[in-house]
Structure 1
Amino acid sequence: MAKLIKIHQQNPQQRLVKQVVDRLNSGAVIAYPTDSGYALGTALGNKNGLERIRKIRHLSKRHDFTLMMRDLSHISEYAKLDNNAFRLLKKILPGAYTFILEGARDVPKRLLHEKKKTIGLRISNHGVVQALLTQLDEPLMSVSLIIDGYEFYDIDDVRDAVESQVDVIIDDGYCPPEPTTVIDLSGGGIEIIRFGAGDTSFLE
């Protein structure tokens, strides 16, 4: 049964954030709120956590996991991008966007799309996410919490669906699912794969 931890978005309690980070460092899978609904996450090196998330979401090996990052300072460790792409990311992040980028050479294969060798990247402006990543000091492997037959608007919805399958659920109350806008930069251009919460008018 998952441990339920209530953390304030505007003023995250560092003591509670540390509890979650300690659990992540010990191999936990968490359900946590973002600026585009709830997500599932686990520490970057946690292969077992990755497989548990695949099982919860019924994901194939081809599904892109997203690196949830605190900021752009270490992006070159995980993805290749030119100056134009970097300027674009710097201009609009943090926000409700997922960027598809070509993976850097040293990125573990389990994080990359099997055929395209791409990686998804997010920088959320949600206070709880930022607090977690500041203490964790590395990205989270993450996917949106989407399960057939369920809608995730608040903590009760999350508990009903995954309480027995994850280790920690962070309670942020009402957190409606509005998917990120997905922008593919891996081919050298700008391709919008999915229109979502992030504004795209700046691309027109």
Structure 2
Amino acid sequence: MEQLPYTKETQESLIQRAVETLSNGEILLYPTDTVYGLGVDATDEDAVAALRDLKGRDEKKPILIMVPSIDSIEEYAEMNEEAYRLAEEFLPGPLTLVLPAKKTVSYSVTFNRTIGIRIPDDPFCLALAEAFGKPITSTSANRAGMETRDTVPEILAQFAFHAESIGLVIDAGRKGKTQPSTIVSVTESGVSVLREGALSREVLGL
């Protein structure tokens, strides 16, 4: 496991190293606009399986992905008028949209053919997603059923020996008590808030 500190000055070289990690099918621990996340190439079935093992996550539970733009969302999911409204008003930001998945996305990150997608309001994440050119998982860096920690040392301690499966750690210091993203499902069956996080129902107009 390689650990590198994040600074604005080293962002470009860190992104290059992160892209190499993802391209090699390895797991990336990285900072987002909310909490620390775990990233792998979301089109790589083996990498997604390794990520699930690290988290101890049920195979039936979907894994969120991040992309750099609304155009990118359209590549992997179907969007209706309400999905466009939410995306245009609140993305980039702490909002995850659960949308009908297209066949271009790996089955292993979907649930009932839906996919959770977000565009983080974070310069590193946006630049990484743009540079990698494929969807990256954006699941919180914690063991299933356990609280998400604020610092890299705390996160690695929680993973214990499982942490050895992480290829690269990008340490941006303490993330603070930031709320996770709000998750909103927008499908043919309607609109529903699955998890109220940093954005309230009122703010979203729901």
Q: What does 1:162-173 align with in structure 2 at a 5 Å threshold?
A: 162=159, 163-173=163-173
Output the CA distance in 1 between the equivalents of 2:28 and 2:94. 20
Output the CA distance in 1 between the equivalents of 2:77 and 2:16. 28
Moved more, 104-113 or 117-126: 104-113
1:187 paired residue number: 188
Structure 1 residue 88 displacement after superposition: 1.9
- The question of 1:43 aligning with 2:41 is answered yes
Output the CA distance in 2 between the equivalents of 1:151 and 1:80. 31
1:129-182 CA distances to partner (integer Å, 9 max, x unpaired)? 112112112220231123245541112112323432211111010113522111
Gap runs ≥5 in structure 1: none
Pick the structure with more helix per residue. 2
Answer whether contact 1:12 1:127 (CA < 8 A) is retained: no
- The question of 1:157 aligning with 2:158 is answered no
2:29 counterpart (28, 31, 38): 31
Q: What does 1:6-25 align with in structure 2 at a 5 Å threshold?
A: 6-8=5-7, 13-25=11-23
Output the CA distance in 2 between the equivalents of 1:145 and 1:69. 18
Size of the aligned set, in residue pairs, is 200
Q: Which amino acid aligns with 2:155?
A: V
Q: Which amino acid aligns with 2:151?
A: D
- TM (norm. structure 1) is 0.89
1:54-73 CA distances to partner (integer Å, 9 max, x unpaired)? 11111122111111111111
Output the CA distance in 2 between the equivalents of 1:173 and 1:41. 18
- TM (norm. structure 2) is 0.88
Identity of aligned residues (%): 23
Q: Secondary structure at the match of 1:167?
A: strand
1:146 counterpart (142, 149, 154): 142
Gap runs ≥5 in structure 2: none
Output the CA distance in 1 between the equivalents of 2:9 and 2:200. 26
Query: Which structure 1 residue ranges, 4+ long, deviate > 4 Å from structure 2?
Result: 148-151
RMSD: 1.9
Q: What does 1:118-133 align with in structure 2 at a 5 Å threshold?
A: 118-133=114-129
Q: Which amino acid aligns with 1:168?
A: L
Output the CA distance in 2 between the equivalents of 1:61 and 1:151. 20
Answer whether contact 2:98 2:115 (CA < 8 A) is retained: yes
Q: 1:105 to 1:151 in 2, by over 3 A?
A: closer
